[in-house]
Structure 1
Amino acid sequence: MKAQFITLLLVSLSCVWLAHAADDCPTNQKALFCYFANWAIYRNDIGAFTTNDIDPSLCTHLIYAFSGLSEYGGIQSLDSYNDVTRAGFHNFTGLKAQNPCLKTLLAIGGWNEGSRKYSVMVSDQRYREAFIDSVIRLLVQYDFDGLDFDWEYPSERGGVAADKQNFGLLLKELKQTLSKWDLLLTIAVPMSTYILSAAYDTTAINAAVDYVLIMGYDYTPVNSQVTGWLSPQNEIAATVDAWIKTVDSSKIVLGVPAYGRSFTLDNSNQNGIGVAVAGPGEAGFYTGEPGFLSYPEIQSKVQSGLYTIVKDSTAQNYYAYRKSGLDWICFETEETYTYKANYVLSKNLGGAMVWSIDTDEFRHELNSTFAVTNTLRKVLFAN
């Protein structure tokens, strides 16, 4: 009993210290959100990335991806071994002990979760209430500072037209409850003006959420039949302009990729944008995912001298093709990240977001510079 009392006392004193330390946090700076993909712990060799590899001073907000929706309509871990047994949740939120200004959020959803079960959950008030109760319990249990809702996407991929209104209702009800606990609510949305119109009640979103994170990447999907841009700035600008018609610009956060897309060309003599491909590119050694390369994997290729590199100023993207072979990559550089961070400032947006910090440069063998994240920081926090 005495030991329990001492433990509770120490926890209470720690919370008081963190609260006082947080009083000194800047209140008018841009936000820098960084996602952590929890499956990164399973990557090959030095590419494996755990919560211990996160520098808690880099980002203003860290998001743990992903949790999911259970068959009963409540939030759940998608990898309990990683999240709970190996203390992924606990270690992630524990990073605040090193940076009291840091906010940690838990993301729910993601591409693999699909849409149908979310569509069912938002369709009935009783289901929404049960979901909200489960969210509060999980966030408080593991000391998260909020929820990031990454439903991909309302009214699409098995959803129904009513999702647009029902998702708005859920966000309103969710925020009312989260606010009682001083918890944040953010949503992640795609770089698509079509889906914006079909899927999102932007008036309801503006009233309910703290930030809207635009996923400014994957413009050309991995299963594309032709080569294409990863994150073209002209398309991003159109999406941002559409959102800020009804949502405060200070709530809009622009996401950038700390990765690239690769394809295998059909013909080595046809190597530009919009040319036929045989399929996704060969998987990187660290990431092990066809058509996907982390930032350091890309740098290793393009700095080898084996590739011809092309920049497009309108898209603010690069592509590279192997001089002798069929390998083709679309990617960004520190130059384009700087451009996009300055764009965030020029549009008075709320900040920037990185998907994901575990594919940035992080180990000594990979330069340990967190080049993508630090490039954004340099511009956003210059003043």
Structure 2
Amino acid sequence: GDEIILLMGACLLSPSTTFKLVCHFSNWSQYTTGLGKFIVENIDPFLCTHVVYDFAVINHDNQLTENEWAEESVYQELAGLKNKNSELKTMLSVRELSTNDPQFSEMVSSAANRQTFVQSAVTFLRAHEFDGLDLDWGHPGNNKHKFTQLFKDLQQAFENESIGTERPRLMLSASLTPKTDYEVTEIVDFISVKTFDLGGGTVTAHHSPLFGSNKANIVMTISLFIYFTDRKKIIPAQKLLLGFPAYARSYTLSTQVSSPGAPVSGLAYPGPFTQEMGFWSHYETCAFLHGASANWIDKQYVPYAVKNNQWVGFDNQQSYGAKVTYLMTQHLGGAAVWSLNLDDFTGHFCGQGKYPLISQLKAELSRGDTVEPQNPKTTSSPHSFISPAKDSNPSLCMDKADGSYQTKQDPPLTYVCTQGKPYVTECPTVHSRSNAASSGGLLLNLLLPSILYGCYMYR
């Protein structure tokens, strides 16, 4: 029979591992009212390894430029953070303003347009003392190869400029969704994977679960990035950063049912500061948790809470810890957070100090840097969360393209087909030791079992 083996994933780490902690923040956060107002002064220069400013834009002359006229002062303040922490890197992210203004597509449409953008990017980044550029183009569509060429052009220009000026080369990164069509893995310094907003619709669902019975989970998303990007080459795991949301997705229930999968009538009420329906910052979620019923989704390693007819799927220190464990077992390069301005950056709301989520994330990653390696006797595979399927029937992936599938058994087995072989992408259920909220209503007393350090692996 099949041998079930427990993989102690954290022991697979190299002692020389240095994780990136890339923290984004948005240009519109300065306009949030009251205690939600976020400015550069709120940034702890020692919290993250990289700070990314979202977003610059491409003008109609195909040049990189600021989104608003007053942002040059923000750039100057960001550069000033490096006077406090010389190791900090600052980057500028660029995206299209909207689908109605496809300036990315126009810019990549010809070699001349791309060169105009590339040269403007070098000039702009150096003028404002940024250390690199992040491209956030969610849906390049038919421009896949032109998108790749843009990265090649930028990489070459950054290298040439570095040689010519004897300055450190500008960094190049990409922020990509699971649906992004791309082939840039050998070009970029790192890829921030947006492992959030994965679910949602007509029923309650957490938007960033670690595991799940369908494609809408972190393990599936990362496995697709690693294994199926261009069908030929595997992405080096060290180039992938796992995306951590510092915000929640919320719904209005349409019945008395409130468990995950419950029907909804629409999005939840806007948060008092972010003012967007169905989108709550972590500090707004903390305020909501007073008097709410807080619960843990065992199969997904994430919490949710209910108060009256409002339902919210959010993250806390425990779910962050579970995701970091997965990040480490997969030897990913670190974490990317969206965003600084959505965590409890003032420490006013959650009662856990400033930046409770990101501080926890930094602490978890820092502990991983010091883990001593061992020689695990369990398996030689570093990809324990993507394990050979227990059902070894050769027909399971016969005539199936690479991708995710489910068996018809109850409960269904979620698996991935790659090169005709099936791989499990969901761990067994591990029950939390407690699902009670603390007396303060802000902390979920949900202790992560040590068994999470190893998914069961079949071989």
TM-score by length of 1: 0.83
Equivalences for residues 200-215 of structure 1 within 5 A: 200-201=182-183, 205-215=184-194
Which residue of the other structure, out of 340, 345, 360, is the alignment partner of 1:362? 345
Shift of 1:345: 1.2
> CA–CA distance in 1 between the matches of 2:331 and 2:17?
12
Tell me the equivalent position of 1:55: 44
Taking only aligned residues, the RMSD between alpha carbons, in angstroms, comes to: 1.7
Q: Which has the higher contact order (CA 8 A, sep 6+)?
A: 2
The CA deviation string for residues 345-367 of structure 1, in whole angstroms up to 9 with x for no partner, is 11111001111011111214234
The CA deviation string for residues 138-169 of structure 1, in whole angstroms up to 9 with x for no partner, is 101100000010012211xxxxx2x1111111
Query: Which one is further off, 242-251 or 40-49?
Result: 242-251
After superposing on structure 2, the runs of 4+ consecutive aligned residues of structure 1 that deviate more than 4 Å are 110-115
Aligned residue-pair number: 333
Which residue of the other structure, out of 350, 353, 361, is the alignment partner of 1:376? 361
> CA–CA distance in 1 between the matches of 2:187 and 2:302?
33
1:227 aligns with 2:214: no
Tell me the equivalent position of 2:28: 39
Contact 1:172 1:207 in 2 (8 A): no
Shift of 1:310: 2.4
Tell me the equivalent position of 1:22: none
Gaps of 5+ in 2: 1-15, 163-168, 212-216, 228-233, 371-459
Shift of 1:270: 2.6
Contact 1:319 1:331 in 2 (8 A): yes
Write the letter of the residue equivalent to 1:30.
F
Shift of 1:277: 2.3
Which residue of the other structure, out of 145, 154, 172, is the alignment partner of 2:131? 145
Which residue of the other structure, out of 122, 127, 147, is the alignment partner of 2:113? 127
Write the letter of the residue equivalent to 2:339.
S
Which residue of the other structure, out of 290, 312, 316, is the alignment partner of 1:329? 312
Write the letter of the residue equivalent to 1:185.
L
> CA–CA distance in 2 between the matches of 1:122 and 1:275?
44
Equivalences for residues 60-209 of structure 1 within 5 A: 60-81=49-70, 83-84=71-72, 87-109=73-95, 112=98, 116-155=102-141, 161=142, 163-179=143-159, 180-181=161-162, 182-190=169-177, 192=178, 195-196=179-180, 199-201=181-183, 205-209=184-188
Equivalences for residues 339-350 of structure 1 within 5 A: 339-350=322-333
Shift of 1:226: 2.8
> CA–CA distance in 2 between the matches of 1:111 and 1:345?
35
Contact 1:139 1:145 in 2 (8 A): yes
Write the letter of the residue equivalent to 1:284.
G
SS in 1 for 2:300: coil
Tell me the equivalent position of 2:436: none
The CA deviation string for residues 331-356 of structure 1, in whole angstroms up to 9 with x for no partner, is 01100101111211111110011110
Tell me the equivalent position of 2:305: 320
> CA–CA distance in 1 between the matches of 2:322 and 2:342?
20
Tell me the equivalent position of 1:282: 269
Kindly indicate which of the two structures has a greater share of residues assigned to helix: 1
Shift of 1:185: 0.4
1:263 aligns with 2:246: no
> CA–CA distance in 2 between the matches of 1:339 and 1:346?
11
Shift of 1:301: 1.3
Gaps of 5+ in 1: 1-26, 156-160
The CA deviation string for residues 155-210 of structure 1, in whole angstroms up to 9 with x for no partner, is 1xxxxx2x1111111111111112333100000011x2xx24xx112xxx122100
1:251 aligns with 2:239: yes
> CA–CA distance in 2 between the matches of 1:28 and 1:335?
23
Contact 2:96 2:102 in 1 (8 A): no
> CA–CA distance in 1 between the matches of 2:191 and 2:287?
33
Contact 1:253 1:353 in 2 (8 A): yes
Q: Could you tell me the percent identity over the aligned residues? A: 30
Tell me the equivalent position of 2:295: 310
Tell me the equivalent position of 2:336: 353
Shift of 1:112: 4.2
SS in 2 for 1:319: strand
> CA–CA distance in 1 between the matches of 2:77 and 2:219?
37
Contact 2:210 2:219 in 1 (8 A): yes
Contact 1:233 1:315 in 2 (8 A): yes
Contact 2:57 2:97 in 1 (8 A): no
SS in 1 for 2:185: helix
Contact 2:133 2:171 in 1 (8 A): yes
Contact 1:114 1:152 in 2 (8 A): no
